[in-house]
Structure 1
Amino acid sequence: MGDTQGVYTVKNAYRRIMGDYSDNPGTYKWVTLWKLRVPPKWKIFLWRVVSGILPTTDNLIIKRVEVDPICLMCGTTHENIMHALILCDYSKMVWNISGLPVTNILTNHFQSWFIGVLDSLTEGQVRLAVGILYYLWLARNSALWERSLPRPTSTVRRAVMAEEAFTRLGRASYQPHATVLPESDPHDRPRCYFDAGYRQHTGEATYGVVLLNHEGVFMAATAGTLPGAFSPIMAEALACKEALSWLKGCDTQMVDLLTDCMELRNMVTSRGTGTRSYVGVIVDQCRTTMSLFTSCSLHYISRAVNMHAHTLAR
């Protein structure tokens, strides 16, 4: 079984059959799977996915089970594992709402897709991605057995809540790689005011962003909705993310961000804030985007001063 001394062990037999670490994109990193800090049922589910043994319609037909091959979630394409969890229109909406940067992983094989996830996301983001995969499959089963499909936001919310509960139990830990942002306030940099609006009774969220030059003269502005916001602080974090993306699109290299949310400012600039919640994932994405600027810092201001963006967000 591959042992240089000719000694048989279960470990060597397992590695011989299932494979070990490999640089080949077509071979899954099995050891990495079992070391993931996720709930046990998520890990077993993920093992079934990468092994290709989920009872999707294509696998059932191979086993000579007479079923309709059409996907139950979109009703347009034959179902397989990659389609059900990644490529289906419903699944795409769920991934877009989650905010995880996985849409740029282009492949038709799940193993290659998940290796891309492991290589490009942080530990906390990978944990959330596994949770979304698990609850996407539950949504698919709901369409099969109950003839009903939950809203994409509901599927994301279930994954987020389960990930947060698991983290609170102390079964997962994450140490951020963020640095403290500079508190300097040069007078020659433009100022970007952003704010979020959140309606508790409907769950609707909006944002507004206003960019002024260093003399306070209007330069540009934008506003929009924030799908997938489950709380006021999540809306503020998403507004920060939208502002940063917009600024990058405007080719802004140096900017001061100004928010009237002290909690968000403390989370972004704190050394000890980890990716332990969905808000933490968004904050981590904001830190990553901020590092792409030549100079970018986040400052707290009073709501009265932030009326520029506050008006747009409402």
Structure 2
Amino acid sequence: MNNYIPTFSNLQVRHIFVCSQCALCGSDIEIVRHLAYGCPFAQQVLQGLGIVTSSFPVDVNLFMWFAFLFKSLTTYSKKLVVIAYWSIWGVVKEKDSWSPPTIGRVKVNFDASFNQSLLQSVSEIVIRNPNGLLMVVGSFPNSHVVSPEMAEALACEQALTLSKDLCFCKIEVEGYALTIISKL
């Protein structure tokens, strides 16, 4: 797992030159171990989901740490952890291709993942200022979703609602759902 996840440090080993600092916290080198349980931002996301990992041992290898984590969680919480880490990694990957909004605005990016067999989706929302600093990151699980288009529409709606609820008046919205964005 350590050598396969495309963290910045693993990309550098493969001679793909990128900055190895964690894009989320900037306080350490981005390796799998840091993203899993060393990054304060990742810990804040997990705590927001009600998953406290501060009592878990950090001196064990990554596989043992995840085994310890998953042993103490319900099936639903395990799903939330997987979604949270997927979202955290999505934020890191997206930062490389992200373009800033116009000065005086924030950029609201959204995306959705869809599980057809369970009729569930997860909306991912990231709000950044013109300097690229993360202001808000959110993941929202959705039930009774019947199509990928509905999942994207829900993600867009949740992004706009979150922006409004947080009193962001001047926003630029960006997502990959051209059909949904065109209809808006």
1:151 shift after superposition: 4.1
Render the CA deviation track for 1:70-114: whole Å, top value 9, x for unaligned: 111122211101212431121122112111133322225331221
Q: Which residue of 1 aligns with 2:48?
A: 97
Closer, same or farther in 2 for the Cα pair 1:93/1:101, shift >3 Å? closer
TM-score with structure 1 length normalisation?
0.33
- 1:72 alignment counterpart: 23
When the two chains are superposed, the root-mean-square deviation of aligned CA atoms in Å is: 2.8
Asked which structure has the greater CA Rg, the reply is 1
Amino acid at match of 2:31: N
User: What is the DSSP-based 3-state SS (H/G/I as helix, E as strand, rest coil) of the residue aligned with 1:115?
Assistant: helix
Paired residue secondary structure (2:94): helix
Residues 141-190 of structure 1, C-alpha deviation per residue, up to 9 Å, x if partnerless? 222321635445x33xx2x32xx43xx46xxxxxxxxxxxxxxxxxxxxx
What's 1:112 paired with?
64
Maintained 8 Å contact 2:2/2:32: no
User: Is the 8 Å Cα contact of residues 85 and 137 (structure 1) preserved in structure 2?
Assistant: no
CA distance in 1: counterparts of 2:86 and 2:134, whole angstroms: 14
| Structure 1: segments with no counterpart, 5+ residues | 1-49, 170-200, 204-314
Distance in 1 of aligned mates of 2:16 and 2:32: 17
CA deviations on 1:234-274 (whole Å, 9 max, x unpaired) are xxxxxxxxxxxxxxxxxxxxxxxxxxxxxxxxxxxxxxxxx
Residue ranges of structure 2 left out of the alignment (5+ in a row): 100-131, 146-163, 167-184
Contact 1:91 1:136 survives alignment (8 Å)? yes
| Bigger fraction of residues in strand | 2
SS at match of 2:19: coil
Change (3 A) 1:141 1:56: same
Conserved? CA contact 1:74–1:88, under 8 Å: yes
1-side partners of 2:17 and 2:2: how far apart?
22
How many residue pairs were aligned? 117
CA contact (8 A) 1:70 1:77 kept: yes
- Contact 2:25–2:41 (CA<8 Å) still a contact in 1? yes
State the percentage of identical aligned residues. Answer: 19
Is residue 58–residue 69 contact of structure 1 (8 Å, CA) maintained in 2?
Answer: yes
Q: Which residue of 1 aligns with 2:175?
A: none
Q: 1:151 to 1:92 in 2, by over 3 A?
A: farther
1:203-214 correspondence to structure 2 within 5 Å: none
Distance 1:133 1:68, change over 3 A: same
Letter in 2 for 1:134: W
Within 5 Å, give how 1:136-155 maps onto structure 2.
Answer: 136-146=88-98, 148=132, 150-151=134-135, 154-155=137-138
- Asked whether the equivalents of residues 85 and 136 of structure 1 are also in contact (C-alpha less than 8 Å), the reply is no
Distance, in Å, in 1 between the alignment partners of 2:55 and 2:97 is: 32
Asked if structure 1 preserves the Cα contact closer than 8 Å seen for 2:9 and 2:29, the reply is yes
